[in-house]
């Protein structure tokens, strides 16, 4: 059911994004330019606002610019498909943006003396990197890894909701969101590793352990 909802939500967002993608392509904007602009926007939201305690503004800015993940992908598809460098750039910029978001959250929580929240943010940062790495490594070995309940969009959404609620006065919301995110991220790593293990077993020549 969660997967069906996720697919439906992405399909709905794609219908909204496609007209914007067409307009940008007509204006001569490249998918790579959108990727970099989106990352810069996330950095501004995370480091310029979130790290300074402006959680609502920071979360909203990060959310808006994180949606460029859909936009640059749609633009690449419309213009004939992603290039190797485009895919590399997109993945690299995602890691930069994610590090900024969780680094900013950890910094702000540290200034507030919330050591448990800092620990949760650091677990989220490490587990999020593992979620992405496991998929990239599997694909590099010729296998698929498109599974998991906490992909990048879902992770940013969870921390964003927690940040907004804390910003409007629900103080424990961010810490709760971070620990929830840490748990689902670790679970997703396990899902992906199990998925790759099953594929590897099927690809293993008979007689080999």
Tell me which residues are annotated as active site: 94
For residue 182, which of 162, 166, 197 has the smallest C-alpha distance? 162
Which phi and psi angles does 41 have, rounded to 5°? -60, -45
Decide if 184 contacts 125 (C-beta within 8 A).
no
What is the phi/psi pair of residue 205, to 5°? -60, 145
Are 46 and 100 spatial neighbours (Cβ–Cβ below 8 Å)? yes
**Residue 189: which residues within 8 A CB-CB, separation 6 or more?**
127, 130, 131, 134
DSSP label at residue 79:
T
Closest by Cα among 126, 86, 87, 99 to 43:
99
Torsion of CA 105, 110, 113, 119, to 10 degrees: 70
Pairwise CA distance, residues 132 & 146, whole Å: 11
Residues 127/186, Cβ–Cβ less than 8 Å: yes
């Amino acid at each position: 059911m969660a997967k069906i909802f996720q697919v439906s939500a992405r399909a709905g967002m794609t219908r909204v994004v496609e007209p914007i993608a067409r307009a940008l392509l007509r204006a001569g904007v490249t998918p790579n330019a959108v990727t970099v602009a989106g990352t810069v926007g996330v950095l501004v939201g995370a480091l310029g606002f979130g790290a300074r305690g402006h959680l609502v503004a920071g979360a909203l800015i990060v959310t808006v610019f994180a949606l460029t993940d859909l936009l640059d992908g749609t633009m690449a598809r419309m213009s004939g498909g992603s290039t190797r460098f485009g895919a590399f750039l997109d993945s690299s910029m995602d890691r930069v943006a994610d590090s900024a978001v969780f680094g900013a959250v950890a910094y702000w929580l540290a200034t507030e003396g919330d050591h448990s929240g800092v620990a949760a943010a650091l677990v989220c940062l490490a587990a999020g990197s593992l979620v992405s790495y496991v998929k990239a490594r599997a694909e590099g070995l010729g296998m698929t890894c498109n599974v998991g309940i906490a992909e990048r969009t879902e992770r940013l959404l969870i921390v964003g909701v927690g940040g907004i609620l804390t910003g409007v006065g629900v103080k424990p919301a961010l810490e709760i969101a971070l620990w929830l995110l840490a748990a689902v991220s670790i679970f997703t790593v396990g899902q992906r590793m199990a998925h790759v293990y099953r594929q590897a077993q099927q690809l293993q020549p008979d007689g080999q352990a």
